[in-house]
Amino acid sequence: MTKIKETSTNFANKKALSDECPEIYASNTIGGQWALAICCYLINGKLRFGELRKKLNTITERMLTLQLRRLEQDRIITRTVYAEVPPRVEYELTEIGYKLKPIILEFEKWGKEHKEVMKNKNSEDNIQN
C-alpha cells in the first residue's frame, strides 16, 4: 500500500474533494475493499488478528496489518494488547466506528438488490441473443 505523493495533482484533487464534500471524505476514510471488509466483520464485536485473517482468507498478513494500522490511525478501530504469553491482540470498532453499522447494513442491502438487477439483466441479455 503506497501513499500518494503530497505534491501530486491526484493528491490535491482528492484533498480538495474531501475538504468540500463529507461523502467523499467518508469514502476516502473507509474506502477500499479491505477497510470496509474489516469493518463489516468487526460490527459484530471484537476479533483477534488470526480470526480476521481467517475471515479475509485472500488478504496477506502484511496487507491486513497495514489496513488495521490505518483504521487505528483514523480512529475507526482500537487495538488492545494483553500481556500474555503468547501475546493476545484484539481489534474492535471505536464509538465512531460502530456508527458505520447502519451504513454497512444499507450497503449490504443495496449490494444484494444490485446483484439481482444485474443477474436479471444478464438473463434478459442471454435470452435476446
Helix ranges (H only) for the chain are 9-20, 22-30, 33-42, 49-55, 61-73, 95-98, 101-128
**19-66 pLDDT per residue, tens:** 778 888 888 888 878 999 999 999 999 999 999 999 999 999 999 999
Instruction: Tell me: pLDDT of 10 over 60.
Output: yes
pLDDT band at 4 (very low <50, low <70, confident <90, very high): low
**72-112 pLDDT per residue, tens:** 999 999 999 999 888 899 999 999 999 999 999 999 999 99
Tell me the C-alpha distance between 95 and 51, whole Å: 21
Question: Position of cell 481467517?
Answer: 54
pLDDT band at 9 (very low <50, low <70, confident <90, very high): confident
Residue 38 CB: number of other CB atoms within 10 A?
Answer: 26
